[in-house]
Amino acid sequence: MKFFIDTANLAQIAEANDLGVLDGVTTNPSLMMKEGISGRDNVLKHYVDICNIVDGPVSAEVISVDFAGMVKEGEQLAALHHNIVVKVPMTKDGIKAIKYFSSKGIKTNCTLVFSAGQALLAAKAGATFLSPFIGRVDDSCWDGIELISQIRLIYDNYGFNTEILAASIRTPMHIVKCAEAGADIATCPLSSILGLLKHPLTDIGLEQFIADYKKVEG
């Protein structure tokens, strides 16, 4: 299972990268806003800064909602760095744009996915990655993990290569459940990745080992 970090915060991206387990980065306009990144030039520079930290796919989202705008913007984003993946929303124009980018060899991440039907369409259009928002599915009183299982089954039934990139992850347990359900990737906040480290018995055990070592060695 690959781990992406879901943030535009450079310090957090560097911290996750230093752990040695980071495979990529996802961003979105809300995450860019959270870091105070505004203005087209600054946004583009920020994507390059991220690419200079992590050697893996970096999703950069288009903000156009029409096909022509998505194509123009996506081509500009893809030209920034070879690791850029163009993030495209799950809409009619978005599906057309994903098909276009796929035919040009430009990698895509189909975002704002909330149903298996949407996942099927994105795979048929040739999306490289698919982002089901499992936390937001849970927020709507549906089952985000069940959605991952359903998409896994469909993709395996037909041999689709689109990678399932579980997004809107809120907890370490979400990551574990996504791994059980067969997601290819989890894109997570740093807190959820670090949360995987935690177990009180690890802390208690380590404290005991160090104490015993000191008793013998002085």
Q: Does residue 73 interact with ligand G3P by CB under 6 A?
A: no
DSSP letter, residue 22 = -
Q: How far apart are CA 59 and CA 118, in angstroms?
A: 19
Tell me if residue 169 falls in helix, strand or coil. coil
Q: Does residue 167 interact with ligand G3P by CB under 6 A?
A: yes
Given CA atoms 92, 94, 95, 100 in this order, what sign does their dihedral have?
positive
* Residue 138, number of CB atoms within 10 A of its CB: 18
* Closest distance of CB 189 from ligand G3P, Å: 8
Q: Does residue 26 interact with ligand G3P by CB under 6 A?
A: yes
Out of 3, 5, 6, 163, the residue judged to bind ligand G3P by CB under 6 A: 6
Given CA atoms 13, 15, 18, 21 in this order, what sign does their dihedral have?
negative
* Closest distance of CB 218 from ligand G3P, Å: 50
User: Of the listed 45, 72, 87, 92, which one is catalytic?
Assistant: 87
* Residue 198, number of CB atoms within 10 A of its CB: 9
For the question of residue 87 being annotated catalytic, the response is: yes
Question: Which 104-163 positions form the footprint of ligand G3P (CB under 6 A)?
Answer: 133, 135-136
Nearer to ligand G3P, 32 or 71 (CB): 32
Q: Which residues bind ligand G3P (CB under 6 A)?
A: 6, 26, 28, 31, 133, 135-136, 167-168, 170, 187
